[in-house]
Structure 1
């Protein structure tokens, strides 16, 4: 793990530990801080360390509550997208017809305006976080499929695998002992990239008001603060969510960059 990946991991750990410690300390210091306040849009004080929003809700409590959902959507998009890309790449390796069909479907996904489709689907059906994660994985994994397919074919035709086949090795053993170790760096870098894009798009949809309003999200907190920006205390409704979202995206980007640099060094 190089310096970029270590810096990104440290940033994510600092974000998680900082949010958790601050929320725990506030709950211990002021057990009723998460309850509705008597006044709305107030600046930070001894009871509400990041102030309260326009509905009298504690900003720090909402930040901490939104973190698992935001990170969970990114992880779900990454897992579903990589599973789909790997399955289609393996299917194309076994069947030329399936490979040709998969490439045409990837061409269609690349040509479609994914962001506009997400906005249209979210406006029409108001899906939950799980459905949004599945849609993001389906529309956003075409680039990963192309790269993984090309690298898998390159590894599969290597002379060391030809020698193993002559020795009687089967396809499952070759995949487990040869292909997977050779693809591990690529898979890790692609998984982190998909997670980053999933977090970014989900936050964007929440900012546009297209996510479930009953669930606190960092993008939704930014959306709720927009009508009150002229208020002196409104900055405390938007700035913490923006900082948390920026830290998460920058941390994932740094980890992905570090994994990508390490992958090229091993090729």
Structure 2
């Protein structure tokens, strides 16, 4: 019961975030970069979360910033999981020497931390948000390939797969119609956890200014508030809203991943009982 409640609460929170991002032009009263008031104006009826140091409406920035933040996190996760799933299924299904070589290469690449590597790459090449999202998705797929490969290898040796081969089913059909559906629980959990990981990582990269500083997202909002002295001046309405927004969606994704993992893995339920 508790697991189902957590899942429903997390899905409701995520739905709220996506609704805000999709309806941003209708929800935000001003443009994300429009100067609409006096600098450092506290919250009032005209500016629900006050203004920043240049007179921009913080509520509008928070709403529009959800678009970049969510797109970055979920697109990176989608690319990462797509690469991991395709490569893992192919390696697990065919096996052989190619599988051994790829696994040894993955063993070498897996210990490399993604975040410091992204800092180095963005420092030297100065990519945009789309480029960083692609690079993050590719790098993040390294761990997922091994995760998908193991159950795919086990499924490839099961009798029903051998039966499909014996009646002349093509390799592509077997992988897409028989192996992939059985891996969807793992893929789903991996996508949720990767979304949380990449979303927070994207906020961190934006906070330290490693992509276009003109892009309004939650990381740049926190960075601007921090560098503008929001903490020392006690301007809670400037730094607290984007921080709480990041914590809220990160917690929702964590709860969703936890709930789905227990739902898809009966052994966790047995151990908990």
- TM-score over 0.5 for the alignment? yes
Q: Show the counterpart of 1:255.
A: 256
Output the CA distance in 1 between the equivalents of 2:223 and 2:83: 32
Given the superposition, is the C-alpha separation of residues 21 and 187 from structure 1 closer, same or farther in structure 2, using an over 3 Å criterion?
closer
Cα offsets for 1:94-135 (capped at 9, x unmatched):
352321232123222212132211111122222111111112
> Structure 1 residues 2 and 189 mapped into 2: Cα distance closer, same or farther (>3 Å)?
same
In structure 1, the partner of 2:102 is 102
Q: Which residues in structure 2 correspond to 1:1-267 (within 5 Å)?
A: 2-17=4-19, 24=26, 27=29, 35-92=34-91, 93-94=93-94, 96-227=96-227, 228=229, 229-232=231-234, 234-265=235-266
Do 1:33 and 1:47's aligned partners in 2 also have CA atoms closer than 8 Å? no
Aligned mates of 1:182, 1:98 — CA distance in 2: 24
Report the CA distance between 1:34 and its aligned residue: 7.1
* Shift, 1:166, TM fit: 2.4
* 1:168–1:130 CA distance, 2 compared to 1 (3 A): same
RMSD: 2.5
Any unmatched runs of 5+ in structure 1? none
Conserved? CA contact 2:89–2:148, under 8 Å: no
Q: Count residues in correspondence.
A: 263
TM value normalised by structure 2: 0.87
SS of equivalent residue, structure 1 residue 111: coil
Aligned to 2:271: none
Alignment TM-score, normalising by the size of structure 1: 0.89
Q: Which has the higher contact order (CA 8 A, sep 6+)?
A: 1
For residue 10 of structure 1, report the CA deviation from its aligned partner.
1.0
Give the drift of 1:57. Answer: 0.7
CA distance in 2, matches of 1:265, 1:196: 24
CA contact (8 A) 1:15 1:247 kept: no
Structure 2: which 5+ runs fail to align?
Answer: 269-273
Distance 1:257 1:32, change over 3 A: closer
Q: 1:21 to 1:55 in 2, by over 3 A?
A: same
Is the contact made by 2:76 and 2:198 (CA closer than 8 Å) also made in structure 1?
A: yes
Deviation, 1:63, is 0.8
Distance in 1 separating the partners of 2:39 and 2:5: 44
SS of the counterpart of 1:141? helix
